[in-house]
Chains A and B, each alone.
Chain A
């Protein structure tokens, strides 16, 4: 019942956005709304704002006029699946690194003080500044015939964004148990590992889940940016660039990979939500 309501409202919301888009396009001036020199609202030309139905219709037309061309949605879907795979690897790597850092910082206070500010600072370094370095170093790794594939560079760059919320959230979570619980374990003469396993990690779950969700969104964003940045061919990132290049003559096409990227992010967030549902025993304190 509540779920149906949410679905209906959500759908209404999306319809509302489409309505706003078309409504503004219908009444707004071609050159956008200007206040003095400032363009506060965008242009309404078909080039700048294609009709919603054009965007949707374009999805079902073939990508190009080549005889065997697949429909656009199919191409975007395939590319999105590839990107999702890479993002998943990036998310897993980032999550592992984040968790390890969090455990380290929780166990050694000096490590927390020394590392945390740098972890925060690390996120102000624009990805694109080191994407080439990662690809370059990766391309030189070759272990016993196994060559570093280019998608792995993308995943590594994505993990750089994904690790951050996990490290911070997990640290907060690991530090969250009530003193009464940690002291209880102390009275049991429990080892640090036992305390971690029985108290700290379970207690961290409510903090971890939003962090994992943020991490998943970051991994997707990182994957797309890194694909563009390193010129990876098979993901949505590449389609974004290519189709943006064709946007002058085919404006609606450029929106397809944008929808793909958003869908990707929503799938990732949905996956984490599923994870959360599986762990609901550990979230009993949370207000629903």
Chain B
């Protein structure tokens, strides 16, 4: 399923499969932009982006050899690595956690320590570890709250089934702001909510990263070359998405996102905020953030007394070698830091439409 033919210079493209962790949407704008703008092709790659649904675990698709690279959250992959998957983080695209815990403005839930005794929403699917890690840092154990699985929308929160709902800055939080308040008939505004950003807590964990197969990196030079080429194109893609937010949102809509246009634009903009500015260059791991993620993963215990991981991950769990190489290769061609990045203002319409 991997490289097809030698990547000779005569235009023979190397086939690459990239596994996403969800359906097409602006969260993955950089990859879709790289396809659409021909950045992958410039690098001699033909990239197939494979979306996933509820039960496809991207890092497993990678570990099984179904794909060549996968996008996944760090803590989930740490769990998989402990279970025996041999994977390496080759580019930490999102520098910050985008997870929020949202409650009503009058709920009195203002920080993690207020969770005690509350109904706390989470999607499950391994998205709950950040919550447990943040609570652990506050000395709360997971049995002091009631964890409620959220489904695909925020209705449970809006109807009062959940006291504090998990929300991504780029998605669910926008869903709230696209919903009319039945009392006023107007859309909800940020003032209606209390927002706890995990980025500001001890529990913050690293999210979307690009993962590769460790064994192949060690043994397959061609794969190494492909990896660097792939990363070069990805960097160009994300830089494009940063500099052309509206166009990037349009690209993901055309790639099959079913969100409304204002929602999609919001997502593209918020995703950019999680990436840029990238002080060490896009995708280069900040060791402190890595250590915090590992510490959180070690500390988190779920309500069934199960641990995400019980020991430090191996050294092979991440490397900056390839992303740094890619940044070097690009030189001045692309701004890989985005130090003067400025987000745009997005107005959400009802239903995201």
Direct contact of A and B (CB under 8 A): yes
**Cα-based distance from A66 to B159 in the complex (angstroms):** 30
A46 to B262, CA, bound (A): 23
Q: Is A246 in contact with B60, judged by CB distance below 8 angstroms?
A: no
Is A45 part of the contact surface with B, judged by Cβ < 8 Å?
A: yes
Chain B, 135-185, CB within 8 A of any chain A CB: 151-155, 158-159, 175-176, 178-180, 182
Name A246's contact: one of B22, B57, B260 (CB within 8 Å).
B260
B350 at the interface (CB under 8 A from A): yes
Binds A, one of B35-43, B46-54, B287-295, B337-345: B46-54
Question: For this complex, into which size category does the number of interface residues on chain A fall?
Answer: 35 or more
Provide the residues of chain A in CB contact with B61, threshold 8 Å: 132, 135-136, 139
Q: What per-residue 1/0 map shows which CB atoms of B254-290 lie under 8 Å from chain A?
A: 0010111111000000000000000000000000000
Chain A residues closer than 8 Å to B350, beta-carbon distance: 249-250
A139, B66: Cβ atoms under 8 Å? yes
Contact of A136 (CB < 8 Å), options: B24, B51, B66, B258: B66
Q: Measured between alpha carbons, how far is A65 from B178 in the docked complex, in Å?
A: 14
> Known contacts A43-B159, A228-B53; is A136 also within 8 Å of B60 by CB?
yes
The segment from A13-21, A80-88, A194-202, A229-237 found at the interface with B is: A229-237
Residues of chain A within 8 A of B22, CB atoms compared: 231
Known: A136-B61, A244-B152. A250 touches B352 (CB 8 A): yes
B interface size (C-beta, 8 A)? 44
Supposing A65-B353, A245-B175 touch, asked if A239 and B55 sit within 8 A by C-beta, the answer is no
Q: A65-B353, A238-B23, A248-B178 are in contact. Are A228 and B66 (CB under 8 A)?
A: no
A43 proximity list for chain B (CB < 8 A): 159
Q: How far is the CA of A254 from the CA of B54 in the complex (A)?
A: 18
B1: chain A residues within 8 A (beta carbon): 139-140, 142
Say which residue of B52, B259, B349, B351 sits within 8 Å of A231 (CB atoms): B52
Q: How far is the CB of B285 from chain A (nearest CB, A)?
A: 28
Give the contacting residue for B53; candidates A45, A66, A229, A250; CB below 8 A.
A229
CA distance A136 to B65 in the complex (A): 9
**Chain B residue nearest in CB terms to A47:** B155
Q: Does A229 lie within 8 Å of B55, measured CB to CB?
A: yes
Asked, given contacts A47-B155, A142-B1, A233-B256, whether A248 binds B176 with beta carbons under 8 Å apart, the answer is: yes
Q: Assess the B51–A231 pair: CB atoms within 8 A.
A: yes
Is A131 an interface residue when CB atoms closer than 8 A count as contact? yes
**Is B158's CB under 8 angstroms from A64's CB?**
no
Check A247 against B155 for contact (C-beta < 8 Å).
yes
CA distance A233 to B61 in the complex (A): 17
Closest A residue to B157 by beta carbon equals A248
Chain A residue numbers with a CB within 8 Å of B155 are 47-48, 247-248, 251
* Given contact pairs A231-B23, A245-B175, A65 touches B66 in the complex (Cβ within 8 A): no
| Residues in B neighbouring A122, C-beta threshold 8 A | none
Apart from the given pairs A231-B52, A247-B155, 8 other A-B contacts in the complex at a CB distance below 8 Å: A47-B155, A64-B259, A66-B260, A140-B1, A230-B52, A241-B23, A241-B54, A243-B258
Closest 7 CB pairs of A and B: A231-B53, A250-B351, A249-B351, A249-B178, A245-B152, A242-B258, A65-B353
